[in-house]
Structure 1
Amino acid sequence: MTADGQWMTFLALMLPFAAAAIAPFLTGLFRHNAAWVLAIAPALIFLHFTGFLGSVAGGETISGGYAWIPSLGVDFSWYIDGLSLTFALLISGIGTLIVLYAGGYLKGHEHQGRFFSFILMFMGSMLGLVVADSFLTLFVFWELTSITSFLLIGFDHSREASRRAALQALVVTGLGGLSLLAGLLVISAATGETSMSGLLAAGSALREAPLYMAALLLILGGAFTKSAQFPFHFWLPNAMEAPTPVSAYLHSATMVKAGVYLLMRLNPVLGDTAAWETILPVFGGTTLIVGTLLALRQTDLKLMLAYTTVASLGLLVMLTGFGSEKAVEAAVLYLVAHSMFKGALFMVAGLVDHESGTRDVTKLGGLRAEMPVTFGAAVLAACSMGGLPLFFGFLAKEEIYAALGFADGWTAIFTLVAIIGNGLMFAIGFAVALKPFLGPKVKTPKHAHEGPVLLWLGPVVLGTLGLVSALVSGLSHYFVSSPMSSAVAGETVSVTISTVPHVGLPLVLSVITVALGVAFFMTIGRGRAAMAAVLNAIGWGPDKGFDQVMRGLTRTSYRITGVVQDGKLDHYMTVTFVAVAAALLIPMVLFGELPSMPSIPAMPFYEWVVLLIGVIGLGAVIYARDRLTAIVSLGIQGFAVALLFMLMGAPDLSFTQFMVETLSVVILALVMTRLRLSPTDHRPTREKIGDVVVSGLCGTALGLMLLKVTQVPFNGELSEFFAQNSRVIAHGRNIVNVIIVDFRGTDTLGEIAVVMITGLAILALVRIRAAKPADTATKEG
């Protein structure tokens, strides 16, 4: 990539964040027309990535980046192949339509500018995630999608349901993010690679590594939570508390597919193992069935679509787990088809709600005459979702059955799962597309009519694309399906399926699926009642379990805090000193690092006198009958150390020590007299014994550590550095002062800040104590 190309790609990745920064200003400036202006940003990004289609279709990969943290070897880098390019086009292309749709849906909303800012940041986060090459870049953008989705889901923060849904999504996906981080660290430790391109070039190195299983499970933890696989599926339907533009974007092209993207990206290095080909199909197939059955239970249009998204994600994970060439092709085709028809149907659901005042499918009907454009877009999207001929969804469904079939008992099970799941999704898709529009006219809370162009433009474009992309399947496969399938499979793959039906088992299974879907659609009311009865009988579910876990966590935290943070200073100090003693003594004992006991040195009599002064001071502190005497006696220790500094030829340190000890004693004595604390120690004997033990352990631990340090061979490199550079760099002759002021200036500033904060705390305490007698006198008067 040329320097200009690198710069343009970097600008494309940063453009959503720049647009997010100015979105509130533009919304105020252009009032209700800001959507047209803000949509320019994702449209330009789409055009930029479209320029890579020819190169990627020819088998090239585009990489680039800049040094982010050079000292740690961390780069802000990107890697664009068929997989990341397809995602980038979906994110920016559908993102353009979502921004326009949001302009109509939230017209007149007082916080529309804030919403635009959030949705654009979300777009930038997802875009950065799918093109990231560096592991660190991937993780940063992965977490940004969780944070920005939290802001979007909780956009209507005045409602408790929105706040709960946002928190739930953040907790579940945030825990998954930690799992992903651990997985990336394990992969790096196992292979030595820190980038996706390097990992893909390493071939089977990860599969052959002893840490393979640990890496696989941790990566699956991140992918399954992000893409709502059972039993982590519950957060996704609850995210429907967000405004419909968020739902449409979340489900079609962004966050929920991040986990699927990760699995597809790592398929060449993690796939083709028994664990991969067992765990993914089992969890994916389970999610497919659970999602469709739960969708059958719903009457809210958005919830019906949300649960089918859960099911679709399960289908994608199941196909990725099989990993064969046909299964990869099927997963790629279905992912693209799903992005188009699900985005369109969500926008249709929001449009119906916006214009009629309700999303309850049982309270809707006969809107075809009032909303003909919306009805047409809904039918187009439903035909693709149902896998009918001439639509892109048909190509995906045919390839699914070609990949599975009934080759053996294992694949036969998942073929049946796919048939049942696809049949249920057929019924739900057409229930969303037909029930509100056909049948007798039902009175709705608002007088329904066709929405403005901003609202129906998105579903019409996406619904039409689901048809056109299948009719020109040759071009679609050349530029999108084949390059993406090749990237997922790790080898060259050529997708050839067309809209012309080919007689064979896949076509037979498609016909069975459609027939089953029609049967489900005709009996959807009874199916809904049956599922409601089953769910009521079961009662408990993961969603309720989440609330129980959060309540248990809160109560446990409260109880632990009540024990650990009991508000008693002496308890905090005891725990601190015990921890210090344990941290020093235990490693020395366990690892045999205790120092050898030194012999008593031959010291001049005056050094013995100084030592004796220190011992006398220690005794005075211990046996002092009041705190003031103990504080004054404590200064004896400091003066003894200052005398040792002087005798050892360090008068500057000795002078500093004298000043510090004098000021400390004077200040503490003044404070103690002002506080009027109890003059004697009323602690019981057992507490005194405990304190003696703790202080003895700390003194012993510190003494042993200092002895051990003095017995280690002296390394004079640091001393030589300061001696050579103090005058040259810091322009000071006093090395100690230069170290404190220049080389350790930040550390010294921190120490000063600590002393200042301590002084302010003492001053506040003195003022509080001094005010009490006056307050008491006032009350008595």
Structure 2
Amino acid sequence: MFFSILAPFIAACLVPFLFRYKRTIHTGWLVLPIPILLFLYFLLQIPNISGGNNIHLIINWIPSIGMNLSFYLDGLSLLFTLLITGIGTLVVLYSIYYLNKKEKLHNFYVFLMIFMGAMLGVVLSDNVFVLYLFWEFTSLSSFLLIGYWYHRERSRYGAFKSMIITVFGGLSMLGGLILLTIMTDTTSIREMIESKESVINSPYFTGTLLLILLGAFTKSAQFPFHIWLPDAMEAPTPVSAFLHSATMVKAGIYLSARLFLLFGGSDLFFILVTGFGLLTLCWGSYMAVRQTDLKAILAYSTISQLGMIMAMIGFGTEVAIFAAIFHIFNHATFKGSLFMIAGIVDHESGTRDIRKLGGLMTLMPISATLALFGTFSMAGVPLPFLNGFLSKEMFFKTATQISPTAPLVDQLFIIIPVLAVLGSIFTFVYSMYFFFQTFMGKSKETLEIKPHEAPIGMLVSPIVLVTFIVVIGLLPNLINEPILAPATAAVFGTVPEEHIAFWHGEINTPLLMSLAVVVLGTLLYLTRKKWSHVYRLLPGVLSANKAYDAVYEGHLRLSRKTTNMYMTGSLRHYVLYILLFLVASGGITLVVTDGFAFSTSDVAPISWPEIMVGIVMAIAAIATVFMQNRIAAILVLGVVGYGLSLLFVFFRAPDLALTQLIVETVTVALFLLCFYHLPKLDTKKQSTGTKTVNILISASVGILVTLVAIASHSSKRFETIAHYFIDESHHLGGGDNVVNVILVDMRGLDTMFEITVLGLAALGIYAMIRLRKEEEID
């Protein structure tokens, strides 16, 4: 299972080399085996999972903070892995015919494989911190995919917008996950669920729930965070079909479902998830009818469908959870196919503007037929061969069967069926709008490219998805026991006994609601031009996008003014700001912590050799200030460093003395090499004010460092960690040299990053020297 997550990342590393080696064929053919093999692997796990044999794998990583690579495959994660790898396979196949070989295909498939691996990591992680790591990987890789055509301003805007909103939500979610680990004393999601009572009764419950739902809502484009999704449509259509039908936008749905056993049942969870879900459903479907771009229509339709799924999770009943799981599957089939059809229309006609399209049924009959099944399934038209109707009717059923538990919930319960029908009516309208305005009637304009049917390779993927629409519509229980029931059990805790059927032998309320949607939706579609002016009133001039742009531009202006204030180009100013901050923060800390303590206990005796070395170091340090030559100043300053090495020797720290000698020697040598090429020191006399400021700053820093050094010895606010290092160095690091063990093991990451910084600095210096030599040659 671990390799299934690792495989896409390995493929991402290999793609650039394969791209260079095999330029004669489309890179997608080389990538295609990865999702196929992964899909087959997870497909083979269906018998185990449906039989109750969940798979758990744990690999120790950073056990000291409870951050281990812990992965868990159950019904819910299996459903998502099948969608990720199955839709991923079809998307890669589709992209082979959609993207031209002249594109930077290696970039595209690298980003796509990273995203696939990240999504698999999200749905399989049992450790909350590992889940967060993969969560942010999805934000980063989706940013790269959305901005794939980076030469377009709108692509860069959409990519940046999606990353800002989703990363903001991810950081909020991290705060909630940290609170969960504090409340439950574990980083395992399964163990957290077992500690539900301690979470429910914790004073942090409300804050934790809000932070985690903020992460879920931003990722799944719930109102008012939905604004990033339409702008993400600037990505290539294969990306849209993958990210916005089965993967990224479903991550928030997955998180809400995964933590349902932890938070579900509380009134706050019901109010927030149901309320925002229904609001998103209604607003997304309402705004979809207003759009003129095919992918924009589908973007807002995705928002509305995600709102419906989120609302069903909020309902909290077993039937509602089952319906949500069922619609997650159905939505992936019809929305993935529709995105691909939109891409085909754009690819074969040269436009996605619905105002220019029409009459494509005769020119693109196969694409039109596929779109017919996809849109009618999305609309929930009551036909026995459409899977969308089955889950939509279950949505209506669950909306009328909620059992209120509190007065406020009781009031919300009254309007839930109304909002469900209202959102579904506009869903029907935008579905009919998408299909009939594109494929029926007559062409509204003469297009630059004469529309024609797409090549069969591009049609294979939507054909497969539409086949699922029909097969699941006719035989819904085909996936009930092996996929839907285990997934529902993973979310709700019990195995549902739900039989899916098109006709239940009676005319019930859900069926009447579906018929009402069809009748009223048809009337609204036929009269769309007469009532479309309502958009001038709602939203009118109000726009969440304008609010986002205003906040974003405001932050840019503020940061620009702030930066211009201190970025003066003067090195003296920069050092001055740093030292002022150091003195202010350090002084305040000393005052607050009562750090002005002076203790002579447990102090090593000082003899005349140490005193003499100290005096020499002080004289050298003072002399450096009066030097008129850089080389002389460096040599005199070296006396201070070598004097410190002597002090280490006197105080029986030979390893530190050797380290100081090496560092000092290398530093002096490097300074001599660098400063030799610099111009002579500016010996102009400084003004009295400048000298006064320099003296005050220097004296303040010196006094602060002295006080900190004294306080670090005199103030014992907590037990020293030195004994821990001495006792554990051999056990944890396998060495008896405590200093070496600290540097290599205890603070290994710190040492590694220090080496990295030095390496980067060396590269920077090398680049500067090389650039200067090239300029001299020119």
Do both share a fold (TM > 0.5)?
Answer: yes
* Residues 1:317 and 1:707: Cα distance change in structure 2 (over 3 Å): same
2:698 equivalent to 1:703: no
Computed over aligned residues only, the root mean square deviation of the Cα atoms, in angstroms, reads: 4.5
Q: Post-superposition shift, 1:77?
A: 2.6
My pick for the range that moved more, 91-100 or 112-121, is 112-121
* 1:51 equivalent in structure 2: 44
Q: What TM-score does the superposition give when structure 2 sets the normalisation length?
A: 0.84
SS of 1:592's equivalent? coil
* 2:462 equivalent in structure 1: 459
* 1:517 equivalent in structure 2: 521
Matched residues in 1 for 2:608 and 2:528: separation?
101
* 2:348 equivalent in structure 1: 355
- On the 8 A contact 2:61/2:69 being kept in 1, the answer is yes
My pick for the range that moved more, 361-370 or 306-315, is 361-370
- On the 8 A contact 1:625/1:679 being kept in 2, the answer is no
Matched residues in 2 for 1:503 and 1:423: separation?
20
* Residues 1:467 and 1:565: Cα distance change in structure 2 (over 3 Å): same
SS of 2:259's equivalent? helix
Q: Residue 507 of structure 1 aligns to which amino acid in structure 2?
A: L
Matched residues in 2 for 1:749 and 1:173: separation?
28
* Residues 1:307 and 1:719: Cα distance change in structure 2 (over 3 Å): closer
Q: Percent identity?
A: 35
* 1:277 equivalent in structure 2: 270
* 1:63 equivalent in structure 2: 56
Q: Residue 302 of structure 1 aligns to which amino acid in structure 2?
A: K
Matched residues in 2 for 1:241 and 1:470: separation?
32
> Which one of the candidate residues 137, 141, 151 is aligned to 2:134?
141
Matched residues in 2 for 1:165 and 1:648: separation?
61
* 1:577 equivalent in structure 2: 579
Deviation by residue 1:342-371 (Cα, 9 ceiling, x = unmatched): 111111222222222222223222222222
* Number of residue pairs aligned between Structure 1 and Structure 2: 752
Matched residues in 1 for 2:102 and 2:463: separation?
24
* 2:387 equivalent in structure 1: 392
* 1:298 equivalent in structure 2: 291
Matched residues in 2 for 1:158 and 1:311: separation?
31
Q: Residue 119 of structure 1 aligns to which amino acid in structure 2?
A: L
1:250-269 paired onto structure 2 within 5 Å: 250-269=243-262
* 2:432 equivalent in structure 1: 430
SS of 2:126's equivalent? coil
* Residues 1:635 and 1:317: Cα distance change in structure 2 (over 3 Å): closer
Q: Residue 14 of structure 1 aligns to which amino acid in structure 2?
A: L
* 2:5 equivalent in structure 1: 13
My pick for the range that moved more, 58-67 or 291-300, is 58-67
1:54-93 paired onto structure 2 within 5 Å: 54-69=47-62, 72-93=65-86
SS of 2:197's equivalent? coil
- On the 8 A contact 1:627/1:680 being kept in 2, the answer is no
* Residues 1:396 and 1:572: Cα distance change in structure 2 (over 3 Å): same
- On the 8 A contact 2:158/2:232 being kept in 1, the answer is yes
Q: Post-superposition shift, 1:119?
A: 2.5
Q: Post-superposition shift, 1:524?
A: 2.8
* Residues 1:329 and 1:412: Cα distance change in structure 2 (over 3 Å): farther
**Larger-gyration structure (1/2):** 1
* Residues 1:567 and 1:520: Cα distance change in structure 2 (over 3 Å): same
My pick for the range that moved more, 300-309 or 167-176, is 167-176
* 1:5 equivalent in structure 2: none
* Residues 1:267 and 1:679: Cα distance change in structure 2 (over 3 Å): same
My pick for the range that moved more, 13-22 or 397-406, is 13-22
My pick for the range that moved more, 301-310 or 54-63, is 54-63
* Residues 1:638 and 1:420: Cα distance change in structure 2 (over 3 Å): closer
1:206-605 paired onto structure 2 within 5 Å: 206-387=199-380, 388-390=382-384, 391-405=386-400, 409-440=411-442, 443-501=446-504, 502-531=506-535, 533-534=536-537, 538-596=540-598
My pick for the range that moved more, 666-675 or 186-195, is 666-675
Matched residues in 2 for 1:585 and 1:656: separation?
29
SS of 1:298's equivalent? coil
Q: Post-superposition shift, 1:114?
A: 3.5
SS of 2:222's equivalent? coil
* 2:405 equivalent in structure 1: none
Q: Post-superposition shift, 1:643?
A: 8.6
Matched residues in 1 for 2:658 and 2:526: separation?
94
- On the 8 A contact 1:639/1:658 being kept in 2, the answer is no
Q: Post-superposition shift, 1:264?
A: 0.8
1:153-172 paired onto structure 2 within 5 Å: 153-172=146-165
- On the 8 A contact 1:426/1:514 being kept in 2, the answer is yes
* Residues 1:109 and 1:413: Cα distance change in structure 2 (over 3 Å): farther
Q: Residue 470 of structure 1 aligns to which amino acid in structure 2?
A: G
SS of 1:210's equivalent? coil
Matched residues in 2 for 1:742 and 1:331: separation?
48
Matched residues in 2 for 1:715 and 1:409: separation?
58
1:627-706 paired onto structure 2 within 5 Å: 675-679=679-683, 681-684=685-688, 686-706=689-709
* Residues 1:20 and 1:689: Cα distance change in structure 2 (over 3 Å): closer
Matched residues in 1 for 2:146 and 2:455: separation?
25
Matched residues in 2 for 1:76 and 1:659: separation?
39
Matched residues in 1 for 2:74 and 2:729: separation?
55
Matched residues in 2 for 1:321 and 1:565: separation?
50
- On the 8 A contact 2:313/2:324 being kept in 1, the answer is yes
Matched residues in 2 for 1:395 and 1:604: separation?
90
Q: Post-superposition shift, 1:279?
A: 1.4
- On the 8 A contact 1:405/1:415 being kept in 2, the answer is yes
SS of 2:452's equivalent? coil
Q: Post-superposition shift, 1:10?
A: 2.8
- On the 8 A contact 1:380/1:464 being kept in 2, the answer is no
Matched residues in 2 for 1:617 and 1:334: separation?
77
Matched residues in 2 for 1:476 and 1:720: separation?
60
Q: Post-superposition shift, 1:761?
A: 8.1
Matched residues in 2 for 1:756 and 1:39: separation?
37
* Residues 1:266 and 1:648: Cα distance change in structure 2 (over 3 Å): closer
SS of 1:361's equivalent? coil
* Residues 1:755 and 1:21: Cα distance change in structure 2 (over 3 Å): closer
Matched residues in 2 for 1:696 and 1:721: separation?
40
Q: Post-superposition shift, 1:490?
A: 2.7
Q: Post-superposition shift, 1:601?
A: 12
* Residues 1:129 and 1:691: Cα distance change in structure 2 (over 3 Å): same
Deviation by residue 1:154-176 (Cα, 9 ceiling, x = unmatched): 12222111111111112221222
Deviation by residue 1:420-479 (Cα, 9 ceiling, x = unmatched): 111111121122223322223554332222212222222222222122113222232212
Deviation by residue 1:141-163 (Cα, 9 ceiling, x = unmatched): 21221122122211222211111
1:84-103 paired onto structure 2 within 5 Å: 84-103=77-96
SS of 1:389's equivalent? coil
Q: Residue 459 of structure 1 aligns to which amino acid in structure 2?
A: P
* 1:127 equivalent in structure 2: 120
Q: Post-superposition shift, 1:534?
A: 3.4
- On the 8 A contact 2:638/2:664 being kept in 1, the answer is no
Matched residues in 1 for 2:210 and 2:245: separation?
26
SS of 2:56's equivalent? strand
1:23-62 paired onto structure 2 within 5 Å: 23=15, 25=18, 29=22, 31=24, 35=28, 38-62=31-55
Structure 1 unaligned blocks of 5 or more: 1-8, 773-781
Matched residues in 1 for 2:563 and 2:103: separation?
41
- On the 8 A contact 2:425/2:517 being kept in 1, the answer is yes
- On the 8 A contact 1:401/1:509 being kept in 2, the answer is yes
- On the 8 A contact 2:150/2:156 being kept in 1, the answer is yes
> Which one of the candidate residues 170, 175, 187 is aligned to 1:182?
175
- On the 8 A contact 1:379/1:430 being kept in 2, the answer is no
- On the 8 A contact 1:642/1:658 being kept in 2, the answer is no
* Residues 1:461 and 1:434: Cα distance change in structure 2 (over 3 Å): farther
